[in-house]
Amino acid sequence: MKTLKLKLASTLLGVLVVFTACSDDDGSQNPSSPELPPEASMSANLGNFPSNGESSGNGSAANLEQNEHSNFAFAATNVVFWQTILNVQLAIPVAAFHEAFNHSFEYLPEQAKWRSEYTVQVNNQSITATLYAEYNNADQIEWEMYLTAPGQFEDYLWFRGESQTDGSGGTWYLSKGPAQSGEVLSITWDRQGENVVNAIYTLVDEQSERNGSYIEYGVTTESGYTHFYDISIVSETEADYDVLIYYNEDTQEGTVRSEAHFETSTFICWDSDFQNTACEQ
């Protein structure tokens, strides 16, 4: 009888241990709060290139004389093309994403997702942002940002993306906006430092005659320069061409290479006054 009681007690203890273990496992399945990708992963800033609207003693790129400043003017024209696209397409989503760093996430167990909801002011307009994060696996998080502006649009999926859980890299996909359908831009980013990234911006708008064009921007270790711009223009109506630009934001000196435009595979340079100059060997 004593043996039977001991066996029964042992069995009950085993059941209790299993039940407790299962309960702990269920609780541990809730992932930790997701880490946002770096702010610079979604940015309209292409550095301090003069064509970005920064003033200089020599005037803007558009006003420079083509004959004396043609090297810089060609480089600036291509950066301006991309800067204009980014300024238009990223104004609202960038503001909404950057505001997320001021708010926390709550876990939604029924959806197995995390949610952060807040209000952001963009151009004197109050917009409600709802950012969802879902662990795709142990190494990747999927993101969705829905925006609402009373009387204009409601729960509009303005951008989505995925990132590595350690914040080392990822991709964003930007929609055109509530008035249109489809996506317009993708941003593939790679973290280089605390809030420094190299990013590739690609046009993914099937209605654009330059669909597939891209610009890669980031910091560089190229001697004498601080940033680079690797540009590829794809066109349905004109010849395709590539441009590689190195720029020093401290001296404003730079160099550009485009075999299609300059009819040479060598680099062409400009000095701190944006004037054409021979490249240093």
H helix or E strand, kind and range, residue 175 = strand 169-175
Q: What separation in angstroms does the CA of 6 have from each of 2, 14, 117, 192?
A: 6, 12, 55, 62
| 245 found inside a domain | yes
Q: Where are the beta strands (DSSP E) in the chain?
A: 106-108, 113-122, 125-137, 140-149, 153-164, 169-175, 183-191, 197-203, 214-219, 227-233, 241-247, 254-257, 268-270, 276-277
Residue burial 149-167, b: 16+ Cβ < 10 Å; e: rest: eeeeeeebebbbbbbebeb
Cα 55 from chain centre: 26
Write out the two tokens for 190. Answer: 């790679």
Domain holding 55, by residue range, is: 50-277
8 domain-assigned: no
DSSP code of 96?
H
Six token digits for residue 205? 């708008």
Classify burial at 42, counting beta carbons within 10 Å of its beta carbon; exposed 0-12, middle 13-18, buried 19 or more. buried
Residue with tokens 């040479």: 264
Whether residue 202 contacts residue 186, with contact meaning beta carbons closer than 8 Å, is answered with yes
Element (H, E) at 107: strand 106-108
Q: Is the dihedral of CA 270, 272, 273, 278 positive or negative?
A: negative
Q: Looking at the domain assignment, is residue 11 inside a domain?
A: no
Whether residue 36 is contained in a domain is answered as no
Q: How many distinct structural domains can be found in the chain?
A: 1
What pLDDT, on a 0 to 100 scale, did the predictor assign at position 193?
78
267 located within any domain? yes
Asked whether residue 27 is domain-assigned, the answer is no
Residue by residue, pLDDT tens for the chain (281 residues) are: 444 444 444 444 444 343 333 333 333 355 689 999 999 999 998 988 886 434 344 445 445 445 799 999 999 999 999 999 999 999 999 999 999 999 999 999 999 999 999 999 998 899 999 999 999 998 999 999 999 999 999 999 999 999 999 999 999 999 999 999 999 999 999 998 777 799 999 999 999 999 999 999 999 988 899 999 999 999 999 999 999 999 999 999 999 999 999 999 999 999 999 999 999 87
Q: What is the pTM of this model?
A: 0.83
CB 59 within 8 A of CB 48: no
In a domain, 6, yes or no: no
CA torsion 206-209-212-218 (nearest 10°) is -120
Give the whole-angstrom CA distance, residue 120 versus residue 99: 7
Residue 29: predicted pLDDT: 54
pLDDT value of position 204: 98
User: What are residue 110's phi and psi, to 5 degrees?
Assistant: -65, -30
Integer Cα distance of 129 and 42 in angstroms: 16
Whether 50 contacts 56, CB under 8 Å: yes
Instruction: Specify the pLDDT at position 67.
Output: 79
Distance CA 137, CA 122 (A): 34
